Amino acid sequence: MSHRLFALLLLLFAGCQLFAQPATDFIYLNQVGFYPGAPKIAVVQTGDELPFFLCRVGSGDTVFRGQLSPARSGEYSGQALRQADFTSFQEAGQYQLCVAGVGRSHPFDIQPRVHLSVANAALKGYYFQRVSSALPEAYAGIWSREAGHPDDAVLVHPSAASPGRPAGTVISSPRGWYDAGDYNKYIVNSGITMGTMLSLLEDFPATAEALQPGIPEQGNTLPDLLDELLWNLRWMLTMQDPGDGGVYHKLTNPSFGPLAQMPANAVGTRFVVRKSTVAALDFAAVTAQASRVCRPWLPSLADSCLAAAERAWAWAIANPAELYRQEAMNRAFDPDVETGAYGDGSVKDEWIWAAAELFVTTGNSQYYLANPMFPDAAMPLPSWSQVRLLGYYTLLRHESRLGEEGKRDLPKLKRQLLAVADSMAAGARLRSTGTVMGGSPKDFEWGSNAVAANQGLLLVQAWRLSQDQRYAEAALSNLDYLLGRNVTGYCFLTGFGGKQVMHPHHRPSEGDGILAPVPGLLSGGPNPGQEDKCEGYPTTLPDACFVDDACSYASNEIAINWNAPFVYLAAAMEAIWGK
């Protein structure tokens, strides 16, 4: 009798108790869990159309039986993948999925608020990224650390000199979040990050305001999410030159320091570097939106934010083509700067975003009409260099505030956004894994997990417009993807799941001497570009090209702009499904 047949017979007679071996690498599912009333899909890599069982952790009792679907070829690997659909099983508890001859899955929960823990943890991830602050044990637990980077004596780089602030001027620019695995602070990447999280407060206020990450400000009168955002907003405001309203592109060391160095030990000189049009417009968009969001709690901060936004906008009008080109800058000025460039070559989308935020906040149609709001029909997925949809989402969520101009354009915008969402949802149904993520090899770029999360966010916007359940299901498929329903088998949020990311490219996680990485951080995800040239990538296939090694900044770094759509998606799923 073959081994597989023997195992099948055992399972048929005895349920799952006999499967005491470690979880298999061939069952891919959300390792955090499922809502009772939502779809529940696992993906099993096997050539055989086998039965599957759902077993209760602890007792081992079989609570549900089903049959794997016919095989579909993995779009990139060609491997036979089958879906196990246990949507109809709705009883709360902790379970494992077992397939004879394949093995058992990592354990997972079925329960009503199943993603609240990851939403809170991913928000807490920002607390762990705080610059200029010690993280005491009461909030940071075993990851407590000393303060790093006071940033109260930052030099104006020669590229950023202005009459009021010649090169070498010392300015104070504390707080903010470390961008990623490195210790620098970049306005462009803060832009999309802040826009995404402020949008959560606008779109799902009850859920967003109820998040409890466990931060020092938790007892005050503001929602904790807003408290966390203020840590970065207050830094951003210091990045505007009071002389002319322009905004420095970044605050940075000249180069990345050693990987295993804690913040407190990374003490080199820091500079604010070159103003750019993209930075000014991202800043204008964030501060205009923050003005709206903060107003009920902090009216004078709201006023300052709006004033800052209007000045940055005016600077951009006067300086529309100040692109950030790091190599050219290094040829002209010293010291050379080698850290992340965020060198966006097109400002078109930043005009759209900033205009939308300023228009909605002020009601002044001059912003709406300043540039083509709809230069073409494209609906490009948001990323740090592509923020057009952030503007469109804002127009859609504030329909009632739009004047004649806006109202005229809105039906078409809705149609176009729903068309993109339709094709995403339809694509997921055809895909071997049943997720929206992975429809194109281009999905697997540097930071691909943010692609998955931003696809989810787009679908949530479509759901908000239509209340169509298909969009909510498709969005959830990508949260499943991020938490384990992907062919790497990893649960990509640190600290969660049965197969965890243990070695993200993240300086504090490498430097703190603690085995477990800082929790609540989303790994970048599969990226066949392999720009880090690390050894150990298991394959070059787009959807599996990931290595859990700290050297892999191209597949396993963490970043604030990747965590943000994760926080949004997890919280939105709670709002939609978590009743």
The residues binding ligand 9MR (CB under 6 A) are 179-180, 182, 340-342, 446-447, 553, 557, 559
| CB-CB contact of 347 with 355 (8 Å) | no
Nearer residue to ligand 9MR within complex by CB, 459 or 522: 522
Identified catalytic residue from 505, 506, 532, 574: 505
Q: Which is nearer to ligand 9MR, 382 or 447 (CB)?
A: 447
Beta bridge partners of 51: 67
Give the ranges where 386-447 is alpha helix by DSSP (H).
388-397, 404-430
| Least distance from ligand 9MR to the Cβ atom of residue 446, Å | 4
Nearest in space to 128 (alpha carbons), one of 242, 231, 269: 231
**Gap between the Cα atoms of 171 and 162, Å rounded:** 13
Residue 465 Cβ vs ligand 9MR, minimum distance, rounded to whole Å: 29
Q: How far is the CB of 527 from ligand 9MR (least distance, A)?
A: 9
How near is the Cβ of 371 to ligand 9MR at its closest, in Å? 25
Strand-pair category, 33-34 with 108-110: parallel
Taking the complex as a whole, how short is the minimal distance between the CB of residue 250 and ligand 9MR, in angstroms?
9
Residue 3 among the catalytic residues: no
If the CB atoms of residues 548 and 557 are measured against ligand 9MR, the closer one turns out to be: 557
Q: Closest-CB residue for ligand 9MR? A: 340
548 is catalytic: yes
Specify the residue, 34 or 235, whose C-beta has the smaller distance to ligand 9MR.
235
Rg (CA), the chain: 24
**Which of the following is catalytic: 310, 532, 557, 574?**
557
Helix, strand and coil in the chain, % to nearest 5 = 45, 15, 45
The residue to which tokens 């970065």 are assigned: 232
Q: Which residues contact 257 (CB under 8 A, 6 or more apart)?
A: 183, 266, 268, 507
Our CB check for ligand 9MR shows the closer of 275 and 505 to be 505
Q: Which residues share a beta bridge with 356?
A: none
Residue 289 contacts residue 367 (beta carbons within 8 Å): no
C-beta closer to ligand 9MR: residue 54 or 547: 547
| Catalytic residue chosen out of the listed positions 179, 182, 357, 574 | 182
Choosing from 543, 548, 549, 574, the catalytic residue is 548
Q: Which is nearer to ligand 9MR, 76 or 342 (CB)?
A: 342
Q: Nearest to residue 492, comparing CAs of 541, 437, 442?
A: 437
The least distance separating ligand 9MR from the CB of residue 11, rounded to whole angstroms, comes to: 44
Residue (24 or 339) nearer to ligand 9MR, CB = 339
Could you tell me how many residues make up the chain?
A: 579
Query: In 279-315, which positions are buried (b, 16+ CB within 10 angstroms) versus exposed (e)?
Result: bbbbbbbbbbbbbbbbbeebeebbeebbebbbbbbeb
Q: Are strands 41-45 and 80-85 parallel, antiparallel or unpaired?
A: antiparallel
Q: CA-CA distances (angstroms) from residue 3 to 6, 7, 68, 101?
A: 5, 6, 19, 7
Give min distance, CB of 490 to ligand 9MR, in A: 18
User: At closest approach, how far in Å is the CB of 528 from ligand 9MR?
Assistant: 13
Per the CB < 8 A criterion, the answer to whether 60 and 17 are in contact is yes
Cis preceding linkage at 526, omega within 30: no
- How far is residue 307's CA from residue 353's CA, in Å, rounded to a whole number? 17
For the CA atoms of 416, 453, 34, 47, the dihedral, rounded to the nearest 10 degrees, stands at 90
In angstroms, rounded to a whole number, what is the distance separating the alpha carbons of residues 342 and 356?
A: 22
Is 182 among the residues known to form the active site?
A: yes
CA atoms within 13 A on the CB side of 86: 28
Tokens of 168: 């070498």
Give the residue numbers marked as catalytic.
182, 505, 548, 557
